[in-house]
Structure 1
């Protein structure tokens, strides 16, 4: 046990390798597979499959780094705990804010994705799509107010549904593939491939999400790594299969990229396939949004308790003792983001770049923490440096959205400096 890291003696070690793999797959393989293959193909054309191969290579050392850190520093704080342990509270809190300010944008993207899959079936217009997206978010907020969480059994069902739908979609699409759909291979140039790879980062977040369960792993020193290796391989294979078939059947383009999986499966199964995908997509988006909204509201509460967020973020429900202050903050952000999308001030593929940038910044912080905390572990040291180089190498290609985490960091540094100066002034006057 590392110095300063406390364990929870009441937790029993009940999670074996199979359960660990299911948990990792459920955390990583979610809404991204519904949204990103079509958007990436629209951005880079058939060459987007090269980007999927690139990300499959990148994700392995990143997953190993997160797995090793999770086993060594088990905590619900995720990457922020690793960064705090390695570099102190200031940087740990900064990573916490990166996550908190990702969810107000990421959750609406999830809800709009789920609504788009229903829109394909019901032939909805934009107004109906965003009303449905708002209803999804309202449901998630309500679930978190009363303290209702997605149980492990439901998570297993979600994972089973995702795997079944993806395998079905790939197999059903085979008769509709054509070599003509791969020409021209890179219609938007090779720079678009790197830009598509950056967009795909959305699909590979979540490796830190199982951190808080690592104390319950059976033999975590071995199974944490085995779990990420198996799950990383399965996730990469499924993503590539769906992405390849999306291109091979040309199930993407203006107006349909956000629901490309539904378009692809309906080629063989017709409306029935559309219903299967739509219901599954809705379930996936609600479950994923519920998990992230719950986590963000609690991070808001924790930051408030540490006096680095507004006090009202720490308000609790008088009956359920849930963080209603953080949920209110998220609700206000959701209204703003959905309105911005509906008015067409920014499109979905551009908006997703903002939370993507904060997640990349979060993982850069995690990799930096790994470089310091795993230097006594040869595998961890190599994985940390490799993932740091790859992840940092993607950052310049974020474009304008790279300014988002930098602005958050600058604001936190400015606020911290003002507090230090204010404290010094009060000391002098005393």
Structure 2
């Protein structure tokens, strides 16, 4: 058994992507961005929406013509060679120590108030979160998609309640007059806000498991991005109206604070539960995609390896256990070293943007016609976002160069598969 089960429908695909894009970001990024750019954050969202459209469309086209659990690494292999593929695969793995532990920490922060005093500790909450994630990952994509669809509905209900209880009207969405001195804070906010749309590259790993990838995969990406973007914008409007931002420690708790202001303390447990599962949903897809990337690499390079096997449910069980073992060690190390969330968030963003950039670069070689032109636009936009990250760019560049090993002689270039137009 060496093929993943095709269990993902259009609805579950939209649910998985939208909850992944919102997840941890919805409970943190609107407040952090507002602290950087104030009311001009609304302009930053418009700019980000415009930038993400060609990127999402290009990922949708790649996933439609090249559905594979290898995701971006697979796209890069088809466009270039195995050396680049391996570099991208390891680049994706490098997200584990800098990206996922802070997300797990944020999720466990929502969980802690719900735990009994005897076991109410950050380390236990993070370990329990990982154990629950492992159970969901091993249950298969079909069960995971259903869970994340329910979580998506809960998030929409929460934001809808904020809009209703906060008496949000059209006057609250009016854009401030643009001024030249605001370009710098807007660009700095964009460097943080890109976190809200990382997840498309992880979703690319799920293309092989769609029942009808050619039809449903691109629609799921476009609808999922639109739903998440509209939710982020609405949440930011509420945050700005009630000034629910201002300091690093307060920003991560802005949504619970808003809930207490609008609904009183009686719903604190409900909000904490929704916050936990929203973060849980985001991390869930990443851990699934990482396991599938490891499995896809093993299947291609070492087909007889235990990592290349699947369970009876069609899940890469051993690859999943390996990913969670590394993740558990990273979380424990992060807790012992008291990592600062904003620093790790920026470093993780640099890796994500680099992955997006390489995917768009691959698309310029694999696609033709309108798809190729769109890929070049998306590539330029990724470069601009990369520049907005400042010094954090060096982290992603360093990792990429280490695993590409340009000082060694290139191995034989692998045969490139036919382009999208030739295959279809």
**TM-score of the two chains, using structure 2 as the length reference:** 0.80
Match of 2:44 in 1: 51
Q: Is residue 2:318 matched to residue 1:322?
A: yes
Deviates more, 1:251-260 or 1:211-220: 211-220
User: CA, structure 1 residues 272+84, in 2 after alignment: closer, same or farther (shift >3 Å)?
Assistant: farther
Unaligned runs of 5+ in 1: 1-6, 421-430
Q: How does 1:44-193 map to 2 (within 5 A)?
A: 44-117=37-110, 130-131=122-123, 133-140=125-132, 143=135, 147-149=138-140, 151-174=144-167, 190-193=183-186
Q: How does 1:366-385 map to 2 (within 5 A)?
A: 366-376=359-369, 378=370, 380-385=371-376
Deviations 1:56-89 (A, max 9, x none): 1111111111111111001111111111111111
Contact 2:188–2:388 (Cα < 8 Å) also in 1: yes
Match of 1:238 among 226, 231, 247: 231
Residues in 1 aligned to 2:92 and 2:44: alpha-carbon distance in whole angstroms = 25
Match of 1:331 among 328, 332, 336: 328
Match of 1:194 among 173, 187, 192: 187
Q: How does 1:271-420 map to 2 (within 5 A)?
A: 271-300=265-294, 322-323=318-319, 324-340=321-337, 342=338, 347-376=340-369, 378=370, 380-414=371-405, 417=408
1:223 Cα deviation from its structure 2 partner: 4.5
Deviations 1:101-150 (A, max 9, x none): 1123222211222234456899x9xx967335533444257537x93455
1:35 Cα deviation from its structure 2 partner: 1.4
2:318 counterpart SS class: coil
Residues in 2 aligned to 1:299 and 1:399: alpha-carbon distance in whole angstroms = 29
Contact 1:67–1:207 (Cα < 8 Å) also in 2: no
2:69 counterpart SS class: coil
1:174 counterpart SS class: coil
Residues in 2 aligned to 1:328 and 1:115: alpha-carbon distance in whole angstroms = 18
1:252 Cα deviation from its structure 2 partner: 1.3
1:400 Cα deviation from its structure 2 partner: 2.1
Q: Is residue 2:27 matched to residue 1:30?
A: no
Contact 2:12–2:149 (Cα < 8 Å) also in 1: no
Q: How does 1:184-223 map to 2 (within 5 A)?
A: 190-214=183-207, 220-223=213-216
Residues in 2 aligned to 1:142 and 1:217: alpha-carbon distance in whole angstroms = 21
User: CA, structure 1 residues 53+37, in 2 after alignment: closer, same or farther (shift >3 Å)?
Assistant: same
Query: CA RMSD, aligned part only?
Result: 4.0
Of structures 1 and 2, the one with the larger relative CO (CA 8 A, separation 6+) is 2
1:216 Cα deviation from its structure 2 partner: 6.4
User: CA, structure 1 residues 44+338, in 2 after alignment: closer, same or farther (shift >3 Å)?
Assistant: farther
User: CA, structure 1 residues 315+76, in 2 after alignment: closer, same or farther (shift >3 Å)?
Assistant: closer
1:204 Cα deviation from its structure 2 partner: 0.5
1:302 Cα deviation from its structure 2 partner: 5.8
User: CA, structure 1 residues 307+410, in 2 after alignment: closer, same or farther (shift >3 Å)?
Assistant: farther
1:313 Cα deviation from its structure 2 partner: 11
1:203 counterpart SS class: helix
Residues in 1 aligned to 2:64 and 2:107: alpha-carbon distance in whole angstroms = 34
Deviations 1:11-62 (A, max 9, x none): 58x834x454334323323221111111111222222222111111111111
1:217 Cα deviation from its structure 2 partner: 5.5
User: CA, structure 1 residues 184+278, in 2 after alignment: closer, same or farther (shift >3 Å)?
Assistant: farther
Match of 1:40 among 17, 33, 37: 33
User: CA, structure 1 residues 317+226, in 2 after alignment: closer, same or farther (shift >3 Å)?
Assistant: closer
